Amino acid sequence: MNKKFSVPRGTADILPDDIASWQFIEATARNVLTVYGYKQIITPLFEETELFARSMGQTSDVVQKQMLTLQSQRQEGESAGLALRPEGTAAVVRSYIENSFDRKETLSKLFYIGPMFRGERPQKGRLRQFHQIGVEAIGPESASPYLDAEVIRLSVELLTQAGLQPADFKLKINTLGSNDDKTNFAKFLREHLQPARSGLCEDCQDRFERNVFRVLDCKNKSCQALVAKLDLNHAYLSADSRKYFADVCLALDSLGIKYEKSLTLVRGLDYYTHTVFEISSSALGSQDALGAGGRYNNLVSQLGGPAVDAIGFALGVERILLALVDHPKPASRPLKVFIVTLDEASLRRGFQILHILRRHHIAGDMSYRLSSMKSQMRQADKSGAEFVMIIGEEEYKKGAVTLKQMSSGKQQELKAAESERDCRALIELLCQETGSQT
């Protein structure tokens, strides 16, 4: 027996029934992002593995455990092979540097929409191929608490415009401070976790050395209990960093954004500095993050670019759709007309009329094979078309069609045959309904 193939684990087909929801989220996002002054950038689906290792940090889970690499495709001059992109920031920064954006503008506001890949153990809401809507605002002008507030506001706006209510999600924010502040914070954490170190889970034993911040967002109960006992505060912050964070909060307040300050929110990647944030939904189960982001002031220079600041975030499209499950789905655009014909001659004419209508952007379809009137009407009904257009023997002789509105059952006869001119009245009537141009 021939093997039947299935979609790879941790990936999913997005089937036609779900497309309306996808397109709605994408179109809404594009609209909101444009209003906020962001321009789209499309980078390749894979990059040099080293780019991700250098930007996200060798100790991050993504780099250590989740990179999907393309081993056989290494080309001359590429240092360490290629990997499917696990996130968008590194590639956007690589492109920012490579294309000298800094010489063209003082703030580059960029967005991307597309698939990301992580070799994770699949579960609900955690896929190996998933999709993100992300933004990056990079450049010397980026160094402003107003931009932090705008970016956070934008992520909230994208979620609410997609259909979520403010009560459906929770926004948490924190600050890591500058690089020096982060060093102080790491020192504080090591000192205070050291006495209880043996109580940490196996992963956190390792994290303690390599990336102690990660202990703070470990999901293990015993680690969480130890973290809860830490007397966390912002003592590790310099006066400047403290003021910066206070200004971000003030700007958020001025925009009426509801947020919760969380001292344990650190994000797992090396590149974050200052503001970090995460948006979660209780409707999602254990993988509850809808999106996350933060400021990354050193990444551009670390990757060989100018010393400019930056901030960004990414939202997961599949997670947004999961959180929207109980909300009404957007309707897909229905067909305007379905053509039913009864013999070879009317089938030929119907086929030509269908293409004349499509030239006028009237969405139409037909039964391409002759079958009984009953079965074609059933097809018309199933297609969801607003009108059914019948070309029977009588109509054919007269150079006309019968147009029936499915919802009201009202019918009328209209002139229509093989030429544009013959179809004028039909086109006008259907375009009036669609609002498109004749």
Q: Candidates 51, 127, 299, 366: give the one binding ligand AMP (CB under 6 A).
A: 127
Q: Candidates 30, 74, 126, 415: give the one binding ligand AMP (CB under 6 A).
A: 126
* Closest approach of ligand AMP to the CB of residue 289, in Å: 3
Q: Which residue lies nearer to ligand AMP by CB, 119 or 306?
A: 119
Q: Which residues contact 369 (CB under 8 A, 6 or more apart)?
A: none
DSSP designation for 421: G
Q: Which residue lies nearer to ligand AMP by CB, 177 or 316?
A: 316
Q: Candidates 108, 132, 281, 367: give the one binding ligand AMP (CB under 6 A).
A: 132
* Closest approach of ligand AMP to the CB of residue 77, in Å: 29
**20-23 long-range contacts, CB within 8 A, separation 24+:** 20/329, 20/330, 20/331, 20/332, 20/333, 21/321, 21/324, 21/329, 21/330, 22/317, 22/321
Phi, psi of 400 (to 5 degrees): -135, 175
Q: Candidates 135, 290, 389, 403: give the one binding ligand AMP (CB under 6 A).
A: 290
Sheet architecture: strand order including 46-48: 46-48, 82-84, 69-70
Give yes or no for residue 318 binding ligand AMP (CB under 6 A): yes
Binding-site size, ligand AMP (CB under 6 A): 16
Give yes or no for residue 214 binding ligand AMP (CB under 6 A): no
* Closest approach of ligand AMP to the CB of residue 240, in Å: 27
Reduced to 3 states (helix: H, G, I; strand: E, B; else coil), residue 102 is helix
Q: Candidates 316, 339, 354, 391: give the one binding ligand AMP (CB under 6 A).
A: 316
* Closest approach of ligand AMP to the CB of residue 309, in Å: 20
Q: Per this entry, what is the length of the chain?
A: 438
Q: Which residue lies nearer to ligand AMP by CB, 125 or 163?
A: 125
Reduced to 3 states (helix: H, G, I; strand: E, B; else coil), residue 303 is coil
* Closest approach of ligand AMP to the CB of residue 68, in Å: 11
Closest CB to ligand AMP: residue number = 316
Give yes or no for residue 377 binding ligand AMP (CB under 6 A): no
Closest CA to 101 of 145, 45, 140, 150: 140
Q: Candidates 48, 87, 270, 395: give the one binding ligand AMP (CB under 6 A).
A: 87
Q: How far apart are CA 328 and CA 420, in angstroms?
A: 40
Extract the tokens encoding 353.
């009329």
Burial of 121 (0-12, 13-18, 19+ CB in 10 A): exposed
Q: Which residue lies nearer to ligand AMP by CB, 96 or 130?
A: 130
- DSSP calls for 161-223: HTT--GGG-EEEEEE--SHHHHHHHHHHHHHHHGGGGGGS-HHHHHHHHH-GGGGGG---HHH
Q: Which residue lies nearer to ligand AMP by CB, 149 or 314?
A: 314
Give yes or no for residue 319 binding ligand AMP (CB under 6 A): yes
What is the binding site for ligand AMP (CB under 6 A)?
87, 118, 120, 125-127, 130, 132, 289-292, 314, 316, 318-319
